[in-house]
Structure 1
Amino acid sequence: MTVTSAEFAADAGLRYVSDADPGIRRVRRGRGFSYHRPDGELITDERLIDKLKAVAIPPAWTDVWICPDLRGHILATGRDDRDRKQYIYHPMWREVRDADKFDSLLDFGRALPRLRQRVEADLSGEALRFDMVVSLVVRLLDETLARIGNGEYARDNETYGLTTLRPDHVAIDGRLTVFEFVAKGGAELRIPVVDRDLAEAVAACQELRGQHLFTYLDADDRPASVTSTDVNDYLGNITGADVTAKDFRTWGATVTAAHALAEASADGDPGDDDAVILAAIDVAADCLSNTREVSRSSYIHPAVPEAYRLRRILPIWKRVRTTRWMARPEWLTLRLLQQDARQDR
């Protein structure tokens, strides 16, 4: 069952809100700020002002919106000094979302061989039709661990993911496809993919010159863009599970960390557990072009470092092997997640 964002907020004792709703505005006054209710009235209540200041909105932000109810799941939004829209979420919202991030990963790992088999079949289907192009996006999610893309981020911040890329974000030379774009957080990414079939498929999409790179021809031969919803629906229909495009990044980071810890385990006694785990997290963070802290809290399943501390990785690593649809480190990861799920029963 899919849990809605509003239900997540309710579970955390919060209200699900939008900055399109009326909110408190912050206005610069000399070296400080004044705060105004949605109707424009100046806020003079010192206790309320202290609470608003405690949200810790960066002074450089402009166009600041603050939720009038400080139990809103979003506390504030604004524009940073590069005119990118930024959000401050309630700590309880982050806590409940973080707890949910890994719930679907075991289902994802179990479904991955079937998903990859279907993607390969759809990629060889009729050129530039929906199934072919959406499977191309899924294959690239799997191959590159790039984000899926968000239309609001592309519009407001000029940051991109796969479904929001433009035709000029890619260059193709024979077997080599290179994606270059600014990703979420302002990271400038250059992602090379060496695969002739993928290069030809991407080139065919590029030649349509649609608004977005991943464009297909609908039943009336009109160009249409693949959206993140299209991709998530495709994933759900094939896997029969509540998985999304983000699970590729979570899976990839968890597998990368598990592989690094398996190699450390195979080397004998590598020393301090914390240092070895941090090194594995750093390898995963590099794959995601993300920070150590974000990778650890949001992308690497906690069962993996815990299994390393309990010396459970090496025995499984010695037993698993690469198969057609899953690599050896992926089988290791799947076995670790299965082990963790059994212990939670």
Structure 2
Amino acid sequence: MKGGPSDLSQSAAAAGLLYVTDRSPGIRRHRAGRGFRYVTSRARILREASVLQRVKQLAIPPAWRHVWICSNSNGHLQATGRDARGRKQYRYHPRWREIRDEAKYERILAFAAALPALRRQTAKDLSTTRLTKRKVVAAVVQLLEKTLIRVGNDEYARDNHSFGLTTMRDTHVEISRSTVRFRFRGKGGKVHDIAFDDRRLATVVRRCQELPGHELFQYIDDQGEVQDIGSSDVNDYLREVTGQEFTAKDFRTWTGTVLAARALHEMQGFRSATEARRNINQAIEAVAGMLGNTRSICRKCYIHPAIFDAYLDRSLMQTVSANARRQISNSLQNLNHTETTVLALLQQKLHREIRRRTA
């Protein structure tokens, strides 16, 4: 999970690294003919062979500008620069990548473990009679999981006219009996058309739609006034119910990972590396379509890489022991079969990674 500088510093120390930033004195790169020369923080040309070799191994693209390189080989951050489009890019120490990947495992495992209790609580809060803040927020949380629509941001809605769940307008939804249909312009200008059947959610959304005002998700406070729901309300609810620092984005990461596992499992095996890559790309494309992301963003941010590793080594959905699945199913009864299998797989991968690093 994300943390403050002290948390990151502790994580770096645990990996035997020094936490640094590119505001620290470092090595700078300057164009010299067809190549580059490197200048130390003391304005001296770098000539030390071992340091030059480390710089070479970082494989910093020639197109990067404003390049900073860490003077310490044990710095968690080894280099930064700006690419041709002006975007800041980073090169991290391999051990830092390992420990952050481990943290990603732990986060997604913790979220999956918290899901059953969260699902029970949202169902309980939806069963109340009054259209309270808690009831409406619980409805939004269930919609996050059911539709994979982003939570929404007031700034995006105001400046870009793109919407998420908490910024939806009454005109963005149509309800027919138990069917709810959202049609809206989302992030990046993409138009979404998402429909589902759920009697209880349809009832709550219809009651919200009937309240005065343009915002869809509103509630009636103790004074009888109509109030809006915001993304911070949703994240506060998630923190309260789970007791952990989860956000709406964790739904997309977990569900994207589960959907990718299911898609690859349905494709069965592969006869060649080319076929395996094609199947993985098809799975990513399918999940990206459901999440409303590009393939590259979907793979980088919303599908855990262990799923692809497990598919390539043919362990996906096969080598996870029945005992592991049974233990998880007994303790987390609100997870479906695919979720249980993915959770067991990720737990096994995490334990293997920890054993490998500590061996």
User: Same fold per TM (> 0.5)?
Assistant: yes
* Structure 2 Cα separation of the partners of residues 245 and 223 of structure 1: 24
Q: Which amino acid aligns with 1:13?
A: T
Q: Tell me the equivalent position of 2:199.
A: 196
Q: After TM superposition, give the deviation of residue 315 of structure 1 in Å.
A: 2.1
- CA separation of 1:244 and 1:261: change in aligned 2, threshold 3 A: same
Query: Retained in 2: the 8 A contact 1:316–1:335?
Result: no
Q: After TM superposition, give the deviation of residue 121 of structure 1 in Å.
A: 0.6
Q: After TM superposition, give the deviation of residue 275 of structure 1 in Å.
A: 1.7
Q: Which amino acid aligns with 2:126?
A: L
Does the residue aligned with 1:181 lie in a helix, a strand or coil? strand
Q: After TM superposition, give the deviation of residue 339 of structure 1 in Å.
A: 1.3
Candidates 307, 326, 333, aligned match of 1:304? 307
* Structure 1 Cα separation of the partners of residues 81 and 121 of structure 2: 38
Q: Tell me the equivalent position of 2:151.
A: 148
Alpha-carbon displacement from aligned partner over 1:314-339 (angstroms, at most 9, x marks no partner):
32578458886222111121112211
Q: Which amino acid aligns with 2:21?
A: G
- CA separation of 1:75 and 1:228: change in aligned 2, threshold 3 A: farther
- CA separation of 1:94 and 1:177: change in aligned 2, threshold 3 A: farther
Stretches of structure 2 that go unaligned for 5 or more consecutive residues are 10-17, 24-63, 67-79, 355-359
Does the residue aligned with 2:120 lie in a helix, a strand or coil? helix
Q: After TM superposition, give the deviation of residue 126 of structure 1 in Å.
A: 3.1
Count residues with an aligned counterpart.
281
Candidates 318, 331, 337, aligned match of 2:346? 337
Query: Retained in 2: the 8 A contact 1:12–1:92?
Result: no
Stretches of structure 1 that go unaligned for 5 or more consecutive residues are 16-52, 56-72, 77-86
* Structure 1 Cα separation of the partners of residues 228 and 206 of structure 2: 15
Written as runs of structure 1 = structure 2, the 5 A alignment for 1:11-30 is 13=21
Q: After TM superposition, give the deviation of residue 160 of structure 1 in Å.
A: 0.7
* Structure 2 Cα separation of the partners of residues 194 and 315 of structure 1: 33
Q: TM-score, normalised by structure 2?
A: 0.69
Q: TM-score, normalised by structure 1?
A: 0.72
* Structure 2 Cα separation of the partners of residues 122 and 337 of structure 1: 31
Q: Tell me the equivalent position of 1:327.
A: 336
- CA separation of 1:222 and 1:131: change in aligned 2, threshold 3 A: same
Q: Tell me the equivalent position of 1:113.
A: 116
* Structure 1 Cα separation of the partners of residues 167 and 5 of structure 2: 23
Alpha-carbon displacement from aligned partner over 1:45-82 (angstroms, at most 9, x marks no partner):
xxxxxxxx969xxxxxxxxxxxxxxxxx9989xxxxxx
Q: Tell me the equivalent position of 1:314.
A: 317
Alpha-carbon displacement from aligned partner over 1:109-146 (angstroms, at most 9, x marks no partner):
11111111111111101321011000000000010011
Question: Is the radius of gyration larger for structure 1 or structure 2?
Answer: 2
Q: CA RMSD in A?
A: 3.5
Query: Retained in 1: the 8 A contact 2:126–2:135?
Result: yes
